[in-house]
Amino acid sequence: MKHLSEEDLILIYYGEPGAPYGAHAHLADCGQCKAAADALAQTLDLCNEWSVPEPDAGFERRVWKYRPSRWSMPRVWIGLAAAAAVLIAVFLLGRQSSAPQTASEFNSAMAGLSNQARERILEISLADHLNRAEMLLTEISNAGDPGLLNFTVERGRAQDLVEEGRLMRQTLARQGDNPTLTFLDEVERFLIEVANSSDSVSPNVLRELQQRIGSGSLLFKVKIIESNLRTRGQKL
Amino acid sequence: MDHIPITQGDEIAIEKARRGDPEAFRVLVERHARPVFRLAFRMTGNEVDAEDMVQETFLKAWKQIARFDGRAAFGTWLHRICANCSLDHIRARKRKQDLQTGNDPLPQLATGAPSPERLALSSQVTAILGPALDELSEMERAAFVLRHYEGLSIEQISASLGVQPGAAKHSVFRAVQKLRRALEPVMSMR
């Protein structure tokens, strides 16, 4: 058999098909080809030394944060986006006293909406908020025990949810919806705990968080109340 | 420390993202942004471009998520998108560089090397490999990065980049040959 070409050796190195029949047997017997294969392997192994810089801790949040200016929504979501815009306006109502300029924008945006429509929007947006909280709680509940857990992303999501929930609670307080308000307070206490945890949590801290979710049936309640709000909102 | 994602399949988040839930898509961004960044960095050779490619990749994924059929893992699908975005990017960059006087991007040192010897070797390899990769054609670079660093087969590279398997194979061959020549000085010192 002829000696193996460099191309044959590259295919063999990467475990690709296409090397000539008997190439592996030849490689085992032929000192010259074996030396060539070793030299190739050394060079290609050396390429593994080219490591990649690790992005900083805020990388994922940055990718997400800067999306609105560049990411446009798929057409099917435009209806949802319109609803979301109205939702934002609803929550800005809760800030009317501190942000009159925004409130005036709100007033013109909401001028044509009936009380029923406003209520519907509020129910659905609360359900969406709880859905996002549910996702976070579910992920924390299902997290394994891999030593120190990087919690940066989860902390960021919890912070966002706390801010979002605060606006909703203000609106609910104005409406006097105490049962939902009390429940949102309970969710917020847990979210604040997550938001205030360190970037790396130990298995013990993780277990404590999981126990908190489990002991008060928090996740279960989030699911039930989310579902009730959504159903109510859709019926309005 | 490596990011350890909270363990849960992507399926729930994908399904919710398909139904238009941006928060679910955010979960996918958080889980996959770093591996996508690593591929983008190897394709583009610098952090700024790599981060742009991550944005670009998720933008396309966001727009096309309804077309994700689940036959490949979501991560694989994202990597395919990233490889193509990066390929387009380095093509455009090369065209631009051809028009200007050659200002090659400075090779970047990776952080976190465990020992001074390893750091020295890594720096040496990076200093040579970065510019050497810049000398490859766009297709050679893409094929080599996908084969060597991402572990894709020639067949998968050909499907990802939309070229014939023979073209993908020869791109890998040419890339390896050129890189061997570039790395000869380091090899001779070992």
CATH number of the structural domain B1-105: 1.10.1740.10
pLDDT > 50? residue A13: yes
Please report the pLDDT score of residue A70 as a whole number: 46
CB contact under 8 A, A43 and B121: no
Taking CB atoms and an 8 Å limit, are B21 and A157 in contact across chains? no
At A102 the pLDDT is 40
Q: What is the DSSP letter of A66?
A: T
Q: What is the reported pLDDT for A202? A: 84
How near does any CA of chain B get to the CA of A206, in Å? 11
Helix axes B74-99 and B22-44, enclosed angle (nearest 10): 50
How many CB atoms neighbour CB B120 within 10 A? 11
Give, in degrees to the nearest 5, the angle at Cα A148 between A144 and A154. 70
Nearest CA in chain B to A9: B173
Q: Please tell me the distance from the alpha carbon of residue A210 to that of residue A142, in angstroms, as a whole number.
A: 8
Q: How confident is the model at residue B99 (pLDDT cuts 50, 70, 90)?
A: low
Nearest CA to B58 out of B41, B42, B34 is that of B34
Contact call for B179 and A53, based on CB within 8 A: no
- How large is the average pLDDT for residues B161-176? 94
DSSP state of A197: S
DSSP-derived secondary structure for B82-137: HHHHHHHHHHHHHHHHHHS---PPPP-PPS--SSHHHHHHHHHHHHHHHHHHHHS-
Query: Are the beta carbons of B104 and B134 closer than 8 angstroms?
Result: yes
Look at residue B37 in the predicted model and tell me its pLDDT.
96
**CATH architecture of structural domain B110-190:** Orthogonal Bundle (1.10)
pLDDT on residue B67: 82
- Greater pLDDT, A217 or B35: B35
Q: Is the pLDDT of residue A9 over 50?
A: yes
pLDDT for B101 beyond 80? no
Of the residues B147, B180, B181, the best mutation for testing chain A's interface (the one with the most A CB atoms within 10 Å of its CB) is: B180
Q: Which of A77-81, A110-114, A181-185, B124-128 has the lowest mean pLDDT?
A: A77-81
Taking a contact as any Cβ pair under 8 Å apart, which residues of chain A between 124 and 143 contact chain B?
Answer: 131-132, 135, 138-140, 142-143
Q: Which residue in chain B is spatially nearest to A63 when comparing CA positions?
A: B55
Tell whether the model's pLDDT for residue A111 goes beyond 90. no
Q: Nearest chain A Cα to B10, which residue?
A: A139
pLDDT of A178 over the 80 cut? no
B residues 91..120 contacting A (CB < 8 A): 108-113, 118
Average pLDDT over chain B, rounded to an integer: 81
Whether residue B20 and residue A76 make contact (CB cut-off 8 A), yes or no, is yes
Q: Which one of A44, A52, A230 would you mutate to disrupt binding with B, by most B Cβ within 10 Å of its Cβ?
A: A52
Number of Cβ atoms within 10 Å of the Cβ of B3: 18
Predicted pLDDT of residue A119: 75
pLDDT score of B144: 96
User: Where exactly does CATH 1.10.1740.10 map onto chain B?
Assistant: 1-105
**DSSP SS3 for A200:** strand
Q: Are B57 and B68 in contact (CB under 8 A)?
A: no
Question: CB contact, 8 Å: B186 with chain A?
Answer: yes
Find, among A147, A158, A55, the residue nearest to B4 by Cα: A147
Is residue B179's pLDDT more than 90? yes
Are B183 and A138 within 8 A, CB to CB? no
Task: Give me the interface pTM, i.e. the ipTM.
Answer: 0.79
Contact A191, A183 (CB under 8 A): no
Contacts of A100 (CB under 8 A, 6+ apart): none
For the stretch A149-161, pLDDT in tens is 777 778 888 888 8
pLDDT at A106 over 50: no
pLDDT per residue as tens digits for the range B117-160: 655 666 777 778 888 898 899 999 999 999 999 999 999 999 88
The more confidently predicted of residues B98 and B153 is B153
List pLDDT tens digits, range B13-58. Answer: 888 888 777 888 888 999 999 999 999 999 999 999 999 999 999 9
A 35-64: CB under 8 A from B: 39-40, 42-44, 46-47, 49-55, 59-60, 62-64
* pLDDT in the model for residue B93: 81
Three-state secondary-structure class, residue B53: helix
Q: Closest Cα of chain A to B101: distance in Å?
A: 27
Write out the DSSP string of A84-148.
HHHHHHHHHHTTTTT-HHHHHHHHHHHTT--HHHHHHHHHHHHHHHHHHHHHHHHHHHH----SS
Alpha-carbon gap, residue B120 to B128, rounded angstroms: 12
Closest CA to B23 of A222, A217, A69, A130: A130
Q: Which two tokens stand for residue B173?
A: 């061959």
Is the CB of A198 inside 8 Å of chain B's CB atoms? no
Segments of chain B assigned to CATH 1.10.10.10: 110-190
